[in-house]
Amino acid sequence: MAIELVKPGKKAGGSVEEVICELIELGKEHLKVTESGRYYRELRINFMIGKIIRDCNNMLGMSGNFKNGCLYREQGLASKWDKASEEVVCDHATPISELVHAYRFEAVPFEKLIFSPVVRIRKSTNDILTKQGYAQKGHKAGLPLYRYSHIDVKIVTHLGEEVDPSNWSDRNHWDLVWNTPELHSVLSALNIRMQA
């Protein structure tokens, strides 16, 4: 099943890739202002970095009122989400706090962080992750879906391929990103090139 990105309204104008580029550009400018602040500086910087990532994920259809851009979903969920279906959440497989850390201390650019895996899961599954202490931990570097290996949940790609969260690698994830035609124009606009 193909994914669907958000289509900017006619009044807003612009394409998804143009809006995402602008979100990153304006977000970086706002981040500079935030970094010059004196009060609650660290907290506000982290919040702003997370906001930029979330705003871009929203345009990619990976959150909010439009959840059909997720590259992964819990097995058993319909390939196409609609508001009348069961309650779901778009869960960052790598917690936002870790993505913020990657931006600040590992120099991973927003242009790559916004493609970190987001998984459409049942709200009940999200509740289990939270109850068992895996809402913000349990992830493993290089294995972006690893957090889901701690609970009884099956994950499939938007193409219907079942993945094993315990060994699905960053390379597997980026191969999926590159094999998703709907993302090509966004990747191109952000000057992200496929790595050999």
Dist. CA 155–CA 75, nearest whole Å: 5
Q: In the chain, what percentage of residues exceed pLDDT 90?
A: 72
Residue 1's pLDDT is what?
A: 62
With cut-offs at 50, 70 and 90, classify the pLDDT of residue 171: very high
Cα torsion 129, 134, 138, 144 to 10°: value is 50
What number is the average pLDDT over the span 47-59? Answer: 95
Residue 144 CA from chain centroid, whole number = 11
pLDDT above 90 (res 135): no
